[in-house]
Amino acid sequence: MRVDELVARGLTRSFEFFPPKGDEERLVLETTLVELEDLSPSFVSVTYRGGEASRQRTFDLVTSIETRGLTAMAHLICVGHSAAEMRTLLARYVAAGVENVMALGGDTPRGEAPVGELRYASELIELAREAGPLCVGVGAHPQGHPRSSDRASDRARLAEKLRLADFAVTQFFFEPEEWTRLVIELAELGVEKPVLAGIMPVTTLSGVARMAEMGAAVPDWLVERLEAAHHRGGPGAVRAEGVAAATELCEALLEAGVPGLHFYTLNRSSATREIHRALFP
């Protein structure tokens, strides 16, 4: 089914995976898929980093997930692609019966100049519309895109992009007010498309720095909470505290009326299952 149709029916619960590169990663993902299938997700999404090999891995995983009876969404990125390459890829997805795609700008590898004919997600949306009756999602950054000069310009560009798309999925964040503020600011710009909340628990202290590098700074209060947990009980206590904090975030978002929760799984299921079990016993 189309994601926008699923959202119209009520709260969605979705999971994100990345394509495995080898046999070991493939076995881990297969176990995760089996475990998360039992939670009856509304849909799942599959990331894509660019390049021919990665493109094929994403396509293979998306189509194989669809054969399991799950709705899958394929990520697309601008970096490193021509319009002709993207038209070919979109035609393959349409022919395979895939109905949902995620249009993203993509990240240029560090130290390299941007390459490729396409630059903006809006260009991918236009190509997707040409390809067929696809449902198109876009990314949103509650804290502002790392390349944005200020929040006002970030919101203006996001609103322009979301007018062309069907829904948005946020980068992960840690305070419910970040989602609420984003939705209000979009509404003030005349855009009220559904914005699904991206969720990723911080389960290690080292993850704090990694998440900041990915464009979502962990707030001081949460860092202090995780550090206190480490002093009490080490890495296991940090993990438990991070899962608890993510669960509390989801509870607050549900109370605020979020249309969907989208879990970044990193191809592992345990933390996601714990949060899901607490929210939907």
Q: What is the pLDDT of residue 115?
A: 60
Q: What is the pLDDT of residue 113?
A: 44
Give the number of domains in the chain.
1
Residues 6+ apart with CB under 8 A from 36: 15, 44, 265, 269, 272, 273
CA distances from 33 to 15, 41, 46, 115 (A): 10, 11, 12, 34
**Residue 107 pLDDT level (bands cut at 50, 70, 90):** low
Q: What is the pLDDT of residue 96?
A: 96
Poorest-pLDDT segment among 6-10, 80-84, 87-91, 193-197 = 80-84
Given a cut of 70, whether residue 209 has pLDDT beyond it is yes
Query: What secondary structure does DSSP assign to 148-182, as a single string?
Result: -SSHHHHHHHHHHHHHHSSEEEEEE-S-HHHHHHH
Query: Does residue 110 or residue 246 have the better pLDDT?
Result: 246
- CATH number for the domain spanning 141: value is 3.20.20.220
Given a cut of 60, whether residue 70 has pLDDT beyond it is yes
Please answer whether residues 244 and 168 qualify as being in contact, where contact means their C-beta atoms are separated by less than 8 angstroms.
no
- 13-24 pLDDT tens trace: 999 999 998 899
- End-to-end CA separation in angstroms for the chain: 25
Structural domain harbouring 16: 3-279
Long-range contact pairs involving 233-238 (C-beta distance under 8 Å, separation at least 24): 235/204, 238/203, 238/204, 238/205
The whole-chain average pLDDT of the chain stands at 93
* Alpha-carbon gap, residue 28 to 267, rounded angstroms: 7
Q: Is 16 annotated as catalytic?
A: yes
- 236-278 pLDDT tens trace: 999 999 999 999 999 999 999 999 999 999 999 999 999 999 9
- Kindly name the residue from 5, 16, 25, 274 that is annotated as catalytic: 16
pTM of the full structure? 0.94
Q: What is the pLDDT of residue 79?
A: 79
Poorest-pLDDT segment among 39-48, 53-62, 238-247 = 53-62
